[in-house]
Chains A and B, each alone.
Chain A
Amino acid sequence: MPRDFKEKFFLFGIAIIAVLTILPLFHIIYSVVVEGLPVLLKGGFKFLFGTLAPPGDGLGGIGPAILGTFILTFLASLIGLPIAVMTGVYAAEYPESIFGRLARVLLTIMMEFPTILVGLFVMQILVIPMGRYSAIAGALALAIVMMPYVTVYTEEALKSIPFMYREAAFGLGLTRFKVVFRVLARMAKKGIVTGMLIGMAKVAGETAPLLFTAGGANRIYFAGVDRPVGAISLLIYNLVQQPYENYHEIAWGASLVLMLIFLAIFLPLRLSLKEVKL
């Protein structure tokens, strides 16, 4: 009976599709571990702390890139988080204002914005006037990428607080400032922190916004916020395109490091929540 057959085919097909959807992730993890772990073991400590090897000669290390990723993420958070949180508070507190009404739409659009365009923009407004690539330019680009996530999470966290708590806080005669920052922000802490961490996990792995802003520096450690700085993602991107065998190995090792950093931030975060917006 064709109806019966269709039903079986459907159930079978849908299970196959589910497997096919997630299979690539396992293949990626498998590949990164198989190719990257030997590099990490062979390179040892020096791989994490040393500087880049010359072409065709050994593994050296990716220390400056690892440090650079942390510096860029830190600086981006420094710039982006306060602006994003305050904007989120405003959007939640004044939903009827022009901005409050437009906030969600504009932020969602910014979230989906091609990140390469952000990099290009920062190059034009910061790198060219300064005359060189710099950590601050990279961080600004990342901050722009990060802000919409944090804002949306903050807004949602504040809006999800039942109205009675707001009434209760105002009922105590507190000023709006105290109501929001002393009472509501504490209640919404989990949501706001989640937004911050999601934003940070996101930008720690970003590559495109850094292409024309951070510049990359793989043989010297941090030289100042107005100097070029490396990043793991940027290093991988550059090394993959090189013809040297040892650079490909380093790229795999760096990929494993980046993947571990991402999973270390993302996995605990994801497991503590019901859903995330990415």
Chain B
Amino acid sequence: MQKVDTFRISLLPFCILIFSIFALMIVTYLAVSVPIFQKEGPQIYTTNIWKAAENNPDEEFYGVLAAIYGSVYTSVLAVLIALPLSIGFAVFVIDYAPQKIKEPLIVTTDIMAGLPTIIYGIWGAFVLVPMLRDYVMYPLHKHLGFIPLFSFEPAGGYSFLAAGVLLGVMVTPFASSIIREAYRMVPFTYREAAFSLGATRYEATKILLSYIKPAIIAGILLAFGRAIGETVAVSLVVGNAFNIHPSLFAPGYTISSLIANQFGNAFIYGYMVSALFAAGFFLFIIGLAVNIGSLIILKRWYSHAQRF
């Protein structure tokens, strides 16, 4: 007869607790979202309407398309900025930085990755936004305003661009650390092989980067997940307006900034809480998909690379 493992049994409640919190979260999001799904169906995600009525819940209508649009827009911008920076930084640190400054460079990016996001927020709102408005947005709008990307007059500077740039700065260290680890893992023999064929350093780097492409994709996906979930820094610079506009300079909303802005007074309405939870659920699903996807890619790549 097997002895009862008291040790195991005494630890089990803690595990169960952690995972029931996780499960409870999913259940809560689904349960609270149900009323708005019953009332509006998929229109909660496909329309851009925000009609709150204090006394008559039947007149309320919520569509968070603008926030979804803004979340994707700003996060794509962030990833476009983070992609060259994080790859370039990883390559520089591993291949070219003098030995003495390697470690300080990595510590610096670790500080960036851990820095409280509200500090990015205040810097974004008071420093980055005016800077972008005066030196980037106005000149571009004035001279190239006929291009849809630059067509919106950048009144305050709070915009998709400001949020995208700020998010790009915030997620670059994170993406870079994943790419750096993968790049470091490239077996030395491939490096030798590339150079032995007469490759220049640029060409060898290109070959090695193509070898770690899956890890780069995973890093960028994870960065996208971080960007789309970021709340306070974004809500201080994105302008917080229901707006689906192609221009970089237009203000908008993201899902998380919508929640941050509207949730405080949502309780006086019949369906707003439910609508915001539905928006949160959407974010939840995107985050889950992005994370699981990138974890699978990373795991597959590492098991492949470790054969050497």
Contact = CB atoms under 8 A, between A and B. Distances in A.
So, do A and B actually touch in the complex, CB under 8 Å? yes
Interface of A: 3, 6-7, 10-11, 13-15, 17-18, 20-22, 24-25, 27-28, 31-32, 35, 82-84, 86-87, 89-91, 93-94, 99, 103, 105-106, 108-110, 112-118, 120-121, 123-125, 144, 147, 151, 175-177, 180, 201-202, 204-208, 211-212, 233, 236-237, 240-241, 248, 251-252, 255, 258-259, 262-263, 266-267, 270-271, 275-276, 278
A150 to B, nearest CB: 10
B201 A7 contact: yes
20 contacts: A14-B96, A17-B88, A22-B109, A28-B119, A90-B12, A112-B225, A112-B291, A116-B231, A124-B28, A175-B7, A177-B10, A205-B117, A205-B118, A207-B116, A208-B117, A240-B122, A255-B119, A258-B118, A270-B107, A278-B174
A102 B202 CA distance: 41
B111 interface: yes
A242 to B, nearest CB: 12
Contacts of A90: 8, 11-12, 14-15
A25 B111 contact: yes
Interface of B: 5-8, 10-12, 14-15, 17-19, 21-22, 24-25, 28-29, 32, 84-86, 88-89, 91-93, 96-97, 105-123, 125-127, 169, 172-174, 176-177, 200-202, 205, 222, 225-226, 228-232, 236, 256, 259-260, 263-264, 276-277, 280, 283-284, 287-288, 291-292, 295
Given A17-B85, A211-B260, 16 more contacts: A15-B92, A22-B105, A22-B109, A113-B229, A116-B256, A120-B276, A205-B114, A205-B118, A207-B121, A208-B117, A211-B232, A211-B263, A211-B264, A233-B118, A262-B115, A278-B113
Contacts of B8: 90, 93-94
A54 to B, nearest CB: 21
Nearest to A113: B287
Nearest to B86: A21
Contact of A240 (B6, B10, B92, B236): B236
Contact of B7 (A3, A21, A177): A177
Contacts, number: 236
A182 B120 CA distance: 43
Contacts of B177: 278
Nearest to B200: A7
B232 A207 contact: yes
Q: Identify whether the interface residues of B are mostly helix, strand, loop, or mixed.
A: helix
Contact of A151 (B18, B113, B225, B287): B18
A86 B291 CA distance: 25
Contacts of A83: 14, 17-18
Contacts of B125: 240
Q: Identify whether the interface residues of A are mostly helix, strand, loop, or mixed.
A: helix
Contacts of A252: 122, 126
A107 to B, nearest CB: 8
A131 to B, nearest CB: 11
B24 to A, nearest CB: 7
Contacts of A112: 222, 225-226, 229, 287, 291
Of all A-B residue pairs in the complex, the 3 with the closest CB atoms, nearest first, are A205-B116, A114-B229, A17-B88
A270 to B, nearest CB: 6
A15 B33 CA distance: 49
Contacts of A270: 107, 110-111
B106 to A, nearest CB: 8
B173 A15 contact: no
Contacts of B226: 112
Given A10-B202, A258-B118, A208 B232 contact: yes
